[in-house]
Chain A
């Protein structure tokens, strides 16, 4: 099963969110968009949160670094971190190749709804096109 980027929702700050039912819980899987990864280019480092951490919408949960830039990652949802993709920091090229499947960063057990400001794919694409 490959995650369809068109079915995801996106934050203005380039995180994607996929909400699904898993064992009766609502779980948000979060990553960063292909646009952001391509814009950052040459990723060298990623910092992940710990499992069990409680996140509020907008909390900084980690960061990703390219050769020139440090970019904080912001949570588009509230809830508890239930899983982090620990293989990712050592395989950042995999994030380039497959940002929506292999590139998942963390899973959060939702507490309430994701941020209302999340965009659908078409709206997000429009934002990216404007950002140039």
Chain B
């Protein structure tokens, strides 16, 4: 058998995302293999994580309890994820919102302080360069800025893409704060209640897709009610040197409630069940947001931005493809790249993500298929040479119970 494990001393406390001053030395370390390590790297190793290369980082794919246990902890209690590999870009200066308006598929200029919005960065053809979260934040000293959280694998590309576009906005500055900060996701039904004990601001007062700056034992932290698991929860951004303290504090506060650390493996099964797209799988430069069923992430009304003309045309003509959810029969998971066939055996699409669903106990898959075949009542998936019948199902596969 072969393993194919493939598969992140001032009077006012400073925070690399909250100060405009030039950056202190990087806290991110680099291993001899050229991969970066997050500030929590040693913690992961001490906890027995299996580390794998991911988007230029060494990241925990799972800890000792395994992916299923970590997945279930998140669904039933809460789990902590080190997502420090995600890129964090800060935008300052007059016109920052207008600049972001120009490069994102949704409006930013009407995003109030404390607002967070999911959006796309598209090229002129409407192809997706990245999917991002943009936040509008205010520091304790009342300085406002925008934060863009980008995929780890796209960070360098996005900086390279935005840099020339910034030339037209001379008052706007972009700074990459990824290596100076750490990002921790606390996700699950008990996440908010437990984090409440640790923060000066009650995170229950945040609505979904809201964020603010508060502190954790007198150290600044950006708290955002967002996530990538389908559960309620928070994403925290702290200074790199605070990462271990905050991480351990949350684990300690949640110990009696069964909080555990979870790796990228569980993060992937959780987001798949929640029907959330992942860059490099559902999303890429060869598809546009309308094709992959993310119409909500594109606002074409009375505005212009990079890619808007192409997206208007795609909207008028109708996308060529559509994203669907599939339930393959039997126990054998359909994996990314498998052909999707119609009942006559003709190829009509491709599986973009697939695997076992720990919550449902059956395999699930997302696929991109020809649009006119998007409402078929039955499909087949070619799993390494064998056809398996697959039933279409509405996305998401899992929706959290309304509390």
Which A residues form the contact surface with B (CB < 8 A)?
Answer: 13-15, 32, 36, 39-42, 44-45, 47, 64-74, 89
Assess whether B4 is in contact with A69, with CB atoms less than 8 Å apart: yes
Known interface pairs A44-B356, A45-B331, A45-B333. Does A71 touch B1 (Cβ–Cβ under 8 Å)? yes
Which of A36, A64, A69 is packed against the most chain B CB atoms within 10 Å? A69
Which B residues form the contact surface with A (CB < 8 A)?
Answer: 1-7, 61-62, 66-68, 265, 268-269, 331-333, 335, 355-356, 358, 363
Whole-angstrom distance from the CB of B382 to the nearest CB of chain A? 14
Which of chain A's residues has its CB closest to B67's CB? A67
Whole-angstrom distance from the CB of A107 to the nearest CB of chain B? 18
Chain A residues positioned under 8 Å from B4 (CB to CB): 69-71
Does more than half of chain B's interface fall in helix, strand or loop, or is it mixed? loop
Assess whether B5 is in contact with A69, with CB atoms less than 8 Å apart: yes
Chain A residues positioned under 8 Å from B61 (CB to CB): 68
| Distance of A96 Cα from B315 Cα, bound (Å) | 51
Question: Which of A42, A47, A71, A89 meets B3, CB within 8 Å?
Answer: A71
Known interface pairs A44-B331, A45-B331, A45-B333. Does A68 touch B67 (Cβ–Cβ under 8 Å)? yes
Assess whether A71 is in contact with B2, with CB atoms less than 8 Å apart: yes
Which of A14, A42, A68, A69 is packed against the most chain B CB atoms within 10 Å? A68
Which of chain A's residues has its CB closest to B264's CB? A68
Question: Which of B1, B6, B7 meets A14, CB within 8 Å?
Answer: B1
Does more than half of chain A's interface fall in helix, strand or loop, or is it mixed? strand
Chain B residues positioned under 8 Å from A64 (CB to CB): 1
8 A-B pairs besides A14-B1, A44-B363 with CB distance below 8 A are: A39-B3, A40-B3, A41-B66, A42-B67, A67-B68, A68-B67, A70-B4, A70-B335
Assess whether B1 is in contact with A68, with CB atoms less than 8 Å apart: no
Assess whether A65 is in contact with B332, with CB atoms less than 8 Å apart: yes
Whole-angstrom distance from the CB of A42 to the nearest CB of chain B? 5
Chain B residues positioned under 8 Å from A69 (CB to CB): 3-7
Chain B residues positioned under 8 Å from A36 (CB to CB): 1, 3
| Distance of A3 Cα from B105 Cα, bound (Å) | 62
Which of A13, A14, A70, A73 is packed against the most chain B CB atoms within 10 Å? A70
| Distance of A74 Cα from B3 Cα, bound (Å) | 12
User: Can you pick out 12 interface pairs between chain A and chain B where the beta carbons lie within 8 Å of each other?
Assistant: A36-B3, A42-B67, A42-B68, A45-B356, A65-B333, A65-B356, A67-B66, A68-B62, A68-B67, A70-B335, A71-B1, A74-B2
Assess whether A68 is in contact with B2, with CB atoms less than 8 Å apart: no
| Distance of A67 Cα from B355 Cα, bound (Å) | 7
Assess whether B3 is in contact with A67, with CB atoms less than 8 Å apart: no
Chain B residues positioned under 8 Å from A73 (CB to CB): 1
Which of A36, A64, A67, A74 is packed against the most chain B CB atoms within 10 Å? A67
Chain A residues positioned under 8 Å from B5 (CB to CB): 68-69
Chain B residues positioned under 8 Å from A39 (CB to CB): 3
Assess whether B6 is in contact with A68, with CB atoms less than 8 Å apart: yes
Known interface pairs A44-B333, A68-B265. Does A74 touch B355 (Cβ–Cβ under 8 Å)? no
Assess whether A13 is in contact with B358, with CB atoms less than 8 Å apart: no
Whole-angstrom distance from the CB of B68 to the nearest CB of chain A? 5
Assess whether B1 is in contact with A74, with CB atoms less than 8 Å apart: yes
